[in-house]
Amino acid sequence: MEFQLPPHPTGEVKQKHNVMKKLIAYLVILSITALSIQAQSRTITGTVSDEQGTVLEGVIVNVKGTNVNTLSNYKGEYSIQISSTSTHLLFSLIGFESREVKISGRSIIDVILKSTQLEMEFEFADDAEEAISAPAMDKVSYSSAKKHMRESQTMYFAGSARPDNTQVQWNTEGYSTIHENGYKNVIDAPLSTFSIDVDKASYSNVRRYLNSGQMPPKDAVRIEEMINYFSYDYPEPKDEHPFSVTTELSVCPWNTGHQLLHVGLKGMDIDKGELPASNLVFLIDVSGSMSAQNKLGLLKPAFTMLVNQLRAEDKVSIVVYAGAAGLVLEPTSGKNKEKILAAIEKLSAGGSTAGGAGLALAYKTASENFVEDGNNRIILATDGDFNVGASSNAEMERMIEKEREKGIYMTVLGFGMGNYKDDKMEIIADKGNGNYAYIDNIQEARKVLVNEFGGTLFTIAKDVKFQLEFNPQRVKAYRLIGYENRILNDEDFNDDKKDAGEMGAGHTVTALYEIIPAGSDEGIYKIDPLKYQEILGLRDVKPNKNAELLTIKLRYKKPDGFKSILIERPVQGEILDKNELSDNFRFSAAVAEFGLILRDSEFKANARLEQVVKLAISAKGEDEEGYRAEFITLVKSTSGLAKLEN
């Protein structure tokens, strides 16, 4: 067989042949480049924990010399992309020594951070100088002495040991006293009336204490705020009202002779693009007490997150206060984020705390730039340590109550520890038609200012009040769990001049009642039987399991309204088996039980941490952001602390 070469290509064919060769060569070069880039870039993963092995959430992981960074999640895990030229990773978290780690070709790097602060408590000596010069306790004597310590007598020392020249910093944190709600006899008091509360500061503040190895002061534990820190899967509103109402009834987990009533509200969601234009005034405390890294140092990245959520139609002004108050940024459009962020970055702390002057200037600025049918709001960031000017609670209340009538709302963000004034922060938020959150780490800042942006800043209903009328045929006595500072007189329910709580877009609000069922032989009387009710036969009510449990009434006003709208819902109150209960019921019950334990409540009955964990695990659900998993970890870690306190 004879082989012949193919004919010599023509000019046109030759040209196409050359083009094809170039294309193939180009593709080869692209492939080699891609493989080279892939080889130059890789992922480092690992876990960050403290010296006791507790995982650390919110640790900033940075590739040294670059702007590449990430945060550890609630499991302490992180994942970060590095290039072939990267040599070191930097790990930092408030309250811990920053650490620089050499990569050295590793793909998994687990890191342990060392705490920079030891918190010690001991009983004051009669002489202050004697207390300061007392030798530091070792771990054994400290543990055995804790049962003799008083919560209000706390001292903080920097460093892992206390040398003779250590500076003592007194703990002057302030909390309003909570007197827990007791049981109300339905015959004597069939109505329970209170204002809703969407504040969430107590949970993150309690978490801060527990994560630092301390049990929180009892008055720092507001159970309703702990419950409402978490969102719940209630149905969206379907009628003309801006929220839905949901109820469930079952056996009380910590007292099986009682029942637990769960009441939930779900505010309507609003798409971010449909939110009204905002007139925001950032009121920032730059006094000397704000100089710590967990105050102004944390405030700056927190507000950076908020600014990045703003739109062109939104505008921001910045008022600061220290020895005096001043306007450091005129109203600026959200499209000019660089200017706003530059003003925030320039802030530094020093001087005394003219909080009253700051509030007055913030309200003045908000009024001058008021947006009709918009969101007009002051966002106050402080440790609450007001000490100059209008600093008394009464003065602040009067000023804020007067200014809120102009339609300007208030969001309060708390920072720091040691001198934190929770009581003043709560007053400002409550009286200013606002909400209150405590920012203990950058993750909490993201939750409040990014994940819950609409609910934090945009009000869908104001002056929201509950009134429940219990049926004595089903209920012998009841007690509202938490909401102690939100209790209203029964006549306040119909009084539109009486202030109440506000509800934000997408917010959920949950309330729990512990109920003693009708027919129970449990004694509850703390007053003598009423003579004339006895004569009229008003006490001769026979139990009826088929009767209605109660009637729920709610009143609310539209954000710009002055006349309240009434909602009324009868509740039959079928007692559900534990297998029929929603995750909403079980998880809120777990949080409430945990709060009772932390408060060492007289109503805790058989509450146990083990039961809290079991309930919470059963109700964890999807938990996309990991908040419920974090709660479970927090409860488990509290077990040792609780034993130490006994």
Report whether pLDDT(475) > 60: yes
CATH topology of domain 41-113: Immunoglobulin-like (2.60.40)
The architecture of the domain spanning 184-270+460-645 is Sandwich (2.60)
Task: Share the mean pLDDT of the chain.
Answer: 83
Lowest average pLDDT, out of 132-146, 180-194, 606-620, goes to: 132-146
Q: Say yes or no to pLDDT of 551 above 60.
A: yes
Q: What is the pTM of this model?
A: 0.74
The distance of Cα 455 from the centroid of its chain, to the nearest Å, equals 12
pLDDT-derived band at 105, boundaries 50, 70, 90? confident
Q: CA separation (Å) from 614 to 459, 591, 618? A: 36, 12, 6
Which residue type occupies 306?
A: L
Q: What is the pLDDT of residue 516?
A: 97
Q: What are phi and psi of 447, to 5 degrees?
A: -60, -50
Top-confidence residue, 475 or 10? 475
Quick one: average pLDDT of 373-381? Answer: 93
Residues 208-266 have pLDDT tens digits of 999 988 999 999 999 999 999 999 999 999 989 999 999 999 999 999 999 999 999 99
Rounded-to-integer distance, Cα 310 and Cα 634, Å: 33
- Which CATH topology does 276-450 take? Rossmann fold (3.40.50)
Report whether pLDDT(369) > 80: yes
Structural tokens at position 616: 């919470």
What is the pLDDT confidence band of residue 25, given thresholds at 50, 70 and 90?
A: low
Q: What is the pLDDT of residue 376?
A: 93
Nearest 10 degrees: CA dihedral of 147, 151, 153, 154? 90
Angstrom distance (rounded) from CA 85 to CA 473: 76
End-to-end CA, the chain: 103
Average of pLDDT values for 639-645?
A: 64
Average pLDDT over residues 308-315: 94
Domain residue spans of the chain: 41-113, 117-170, 184-270+460-645, 276-450
**φ, ψ for residue 224 (rounded to 5)?**
-65, -35
Q: Across the chain, which distance is largest between two alpha carbons, in Å?
A: 129
**Assigned token pair, 477:** 């006595």
pLDDT band at 18 (very low <50, low <70, confident <90, very high): low
- Does residue 345 surpass a pLDDT of 50? yes
Q: Is the pLDDT of residue 130 over 50?
A: no
Residue 515 has pLDDT above 80, yes or no: yes
CATH topology of 184-270+460-645 equal to that of 276-450? no
Instruction: Say what percent of the chain tops pLDDT 70.
Output: 81
Q: Classify 357 as helix, strand or coil.
A: helix
User: In which band, very low, low, confident or very high, does the pLDDT at 165 lie, cut at 50, 70 and 90?
Assistant: very low
Look at residue 132 and tell me whether its pLDDT is greater than 80. no
Greater confidence, 328 or 143? Answer: 328
At residue 160, does pLDDT exceed 70? Answer: no
Q: Tens digit of pLDDT for each residue in 389-427?
A: 555 667 778 888 888 888 899 999 999 988 898 988 888
Whether the predicted pLDDT of 155 surpasses 80: no
Please list the residues that pair with 284 across neighbouring strands. Answer: 320, 381
Q: What is the mean pLDDT of residues 473-489?
A: 96
Averaged pLDDT, 82-88: 89
Query: Which pLDDT belongs to residue 2?
Result: 43
Q: How far apart are CA 120 and CA 134, in angstroms?
A: 12
Phi, then psi, of 565 in degrees rounded to 5: -115, 135
Q: Are 74 and 629 in contact (CB under 8 A)?
A: yes
Ranges 34-43, 94-103, 438-447: which has the least confidence: 34-43
